[in-house]
Structure formats: C-alpha cells, structure tokens
Amino acid sequence: MGKQGVIIVAAGTGSRMGTAESKQYLKLGDKPVLVHTLQTFQQIEEIDSIVLVVGQADLERCRDYVDHYGVTKVKRIVTGGTERQHSVLRGLRAMPEAVEWVLVHDAVRPFVSRQDILRCLAKARETGAAVLAVPVKDTIKVVGADGAIESTPDRRSLWAIQTPQAFRLSALIQAHEQAAAAGFVGTDDAMLMERAGHSVHVVEGSYTNIKITTPEDMGWAEWFIQSGRGEMQS
C-alpha cells in the first residue's frame, strides 16, 4: 500500500486579519496556529510524511518550530510561490518518492479532526479524489454587478469546501502542471482536478473545521481552545 503524505500550505500573508504578523504564526493558546495544525497530522499514525510550504522570510522560524515541538514527520520545508497554487505544486514536487496519496491542507485550519482526515483519505483511495465539505446553512443568492439578485440556487446542492483535500499524488501533479502550462489559476486543488477531467467526491466534514481568516475567527478559536474542545478529536 502506497504511503500517505500531507502538504501544509503556510506561505500566505493574508490581509483580513489586520495584524502585522501572518495569521498562521499568531499565538493560539500557548503556541502558534501553524503548530497546532502540524501536531494534528504528526499524531495520525497513517500519515507518513509532511511537507511544509512557507514564505522565504519564515524558513528559519519554521525549522525552529519543527525542532522545538518535535514534529518529526516534516521531511522538507520549502518556500512558496506567488499564488497558493504555485506553493502547492512546489510542495508536491518535494514530497518523498514513496508517497502515493497526498492531502493538501491549509495551515490555518487547526481544528480538523483525525476522523475527518482519515475519512477523506479513505474516500480518495476509493474514488481517486476527495474533499472535506459541509452543507451550506444559509440561503445563497447570485447577485449581479448592479447589486440586484439574479437567482437563488437550491441550497440542497451547495456545499462549502474545506481542507484537507486528498488525491493520488501523480494525478494531482499532472493536474497542476496542465494548469500551469495553460496559465490557469484555480481556487483550490479540486478545481484543477476537475479541469483535468477527474471526478472529485465530497466527504461531509465538521463546521468546527474553520479557516482562521479574520479577528472574529481568532476569537472563536481562542474560546474553542479554552473550552477544551480544540484537542484533536478521535
């Protein structure tokens, strides 16, 4: 059975947090957000390798995090590109040769559960590609440039996509390289796989698997940690 790896994408800066420090390095409880995420995957026996993709200026501190917190599954730390898509491709190319299946995960989603990670990976092994997602709770409107509502999609068919997203490594590299050759930039890895003709399946995740993006998210995350709910779920 091929080995399983994960790419943690931590090269972004982000502006919506409104802080001088990038959101993945902000302290959450007693350690940075990124470290919470790394430790989640470190503790999953089925994960063999982690490749961490970071900004050029953050290489040294990320090496320090890996050493200080004992994240032994991190095999390589590489620098990212100008777009998230470019960063992911660099991470894919840095993955150890023995890895057959890869997860791509946002550094600022520290609360993903072990159960959801493994379910996503199992669905990818079954179908070739899978993503975590949750059903949309609100009514969604399609709005035109003039601010007028144009249509109301059926909410039952709408899902909010999360990470991790899981794929066969060789297929994802091929999808990325095809997109790069065409100058196409997608919003996530699943979009590139869809573009390359692959079917991507949804695995229902958890609403607690938030992406920390704004100060409000950080406040919720602090509460989640303090309440004891932020520990990795089985």
pLDDT digits (tens, 9 = 90+) for 91-123: 999 999 999 999 999 999 999 999 999 999 999
Q: Tell which CATH architecture fits domain 3-226.
A: Alpha-Beta Complex (3.90)
15 or 155, which is more confident: 155
User: 43 falls in which pLDDT band (50, 70, 90)?
Assistant: very high
Euclidean distance between CA atoms 199 and 211, whole angstroms = 25
- Taking only the tens place, the pLDDT of each residue in 44-78 is 999 999 999 999 999 999 999 999 999 999 999 99
E-assigned strands of 42-192? 49-54, 74-79, 99-106, 129-135, 142-143, 149-151, 159-168
How many C-beta atoms lie closer than 10 Å to residue 86's C-beta?
16
Residue whose C-alpha is closest to residue 7's, from 169, 199, 120, 119: 169
pTM: 0.93
Q: Tell me what pLDDT residue 12 has.
A: 78
State the chain's maximal CA–CA distance in angstroms: 54
What is residue 227's predicted lDDT score, i.e. its pLDDT?
83
pLDDT of residue 16: 59
Euclidean distance between CA atoms 114 and 39, whole angstroms: 11
